[in-house]
Structure 1
């Protein structure tokens, strides 16, 4: 069973506007995420916009689609992975001269049975895969930090 919440955060020495420009550009998601290889929005960034994505883990590739749920410029971006119903979000908070970014994967209502089956059959089981997701979230935030602070 999926953990209800996976979450990590980082403090970035850059204004929220600069950080927002990086995370809200879905085409750049492959630069940050170790798993995402391609992400394309099907319209402007607003609630209801869908994206088409390709993810990769080792030699395994799989397509996904997402639906944007919330867009609050320089504060919050959230989208649902349509195939498993998990919700991913980035929240930006002022932190002194910079910005704290909190990345979350919400699965408070669980994930789809198909997702559970796939994770258990092909991705090493829920515990292992969620550990890998947390590592990926930390790696993503570190790359966003490096880009924002450069």
Structure 2
């Protein structure tokens, strides 16, 4: 069964500065190693449908999602339509700036069977796939930190 995943980082910048980076989908390719584009139809807001272009290695593929949480300076989350996972960023003010926690939560139904098969056959199995996801989450948080602390 797929696991829920989490990574976090402390950033020496106020939540509003971190939020400005996260909420600006034009910067998505700058902060994530796998998403080239994320377009929110009708603007970035609760309930917005997004069209995404992703890249892993030489593979480029589209996905779609719906923004399920959009609370300025606090929380941003979107649910992937293809696999029902929720990707979330929570911002917590700290004495020195902001703690950002990124999570991937798997739906109670689990991943669709076709995706579990693809992970097993084409991505080295769930353990390797999830390790790669966590490494990507950590890279994303490092990039957000670098951008916010400039």
Deviations 1:68-112 (A, max 9, x none): 001111000010010000000000001103000000000151222
Match of 2:15 in 1: 16
Distance in 2, matches of 1:117 and 1:42, equals 31
Deviation track 1:4-43 (CA, whole Å, cap 9, x = no partner) reads x100100000000000000111221111111112211112
Give the TM-score normalised by structure 2.
0.94
Q: Taking structure 1 as the reference length, what is the TM-score of the superposition? A: 0.94
Tell me, which stretches of 5 or more residues in structure 2 are unaligned?
none
Map 1:108-123 to 2 at 5 A: 108-109=107-108, 110-123=110-123
Alignment match, 1:37: 36
In 1, are the aligned partners of 2:84 and 2:107 still within 8 Å (CA)?
no
Residue 144 of structure 2 aligns to a residue whose secondary structure is helix
- Structure 1 residues 85-96: aligned runs within 5 Å: 85-96=84-95
Matches within 5 A, 1:1-150: 1-3=1-3, 5-109=4-108, 110-150=110-150
Q: Which runs of 4+ in 1 moved over 6 A?
A: none
Farther off after superposition, 33-42 or 62-71: 33-42
Count of paired positions: 149
Q: CA RMSD in A?
A: 1.1
